[in-house]
Amino acid sequence: GENVEQHPSTLSVQEGDSAVIKCTYSDSASNYFPWYKQELGKRPQLIIDIRSNVGEKKDQRIAVTLNKTAKHFSLHITETQPEDSAVYFCAASLSLSGGSNYKLTFGKGTLLTVNP
């Protein structure tokens, strides 16, 4: 099955700096890669996603890059703010078509702390 590795497990940055979280996946058939943000005691929320036919996607201060050849993808947060502090999870999915083949495999998460 799919295996997703995520690094680093913890990341501390100063407000205004950039933060980068990296993930690798094992199954070359994976074609959908979302990123979720989970604040303490709350549900995970999708912040950005990318599909395998795209190399980069940006949404304001957040961007994701995908390298299919190397099987890795990264989350980039620029101009970090204290409210960005949370646990971030990357994930990979085997299928876009849904049904029994649709299953997200999550990385272990990165605890991001943005210091004021």
Partner 1 sequence: GAVVSQHPSWVICKSGTSVKIECRSLDFQATTMFWYRQFPKQSLMLMATSNEGSKATYEQGVEKDKFLINHASLTLSTLTVTSAHPEDSSFYICSARDPTGQFSGANVLTFGAGSRLTVL
Which residues in this chain contact partner 1 in the complex, by CB under 8 A?
Answer: 32, 34, 36, 42-46, 49, 89, 93, 96, 98-100, 102-109, 111
Closest CA relative to residue 110, chosen from 4, 22, 34, 1: 22
Q: How far is the CB of 95 from partner 1 (least distance, A)?
A: 9
Cβ(87)–Cβ(110) below 8 Å: yes
Nearer to partner 1, 34 or 77 (CB): 34
8 A C-beta contact, residue 66 and residue 56? yes
User: Please, which residue, 59 or 79, has the CB nearer to partner 1?
Assistant: 59
Three-state DSSP at 29 gives coil
Nearer residue to partner 1 within complex by CB, 40 or 70? 40
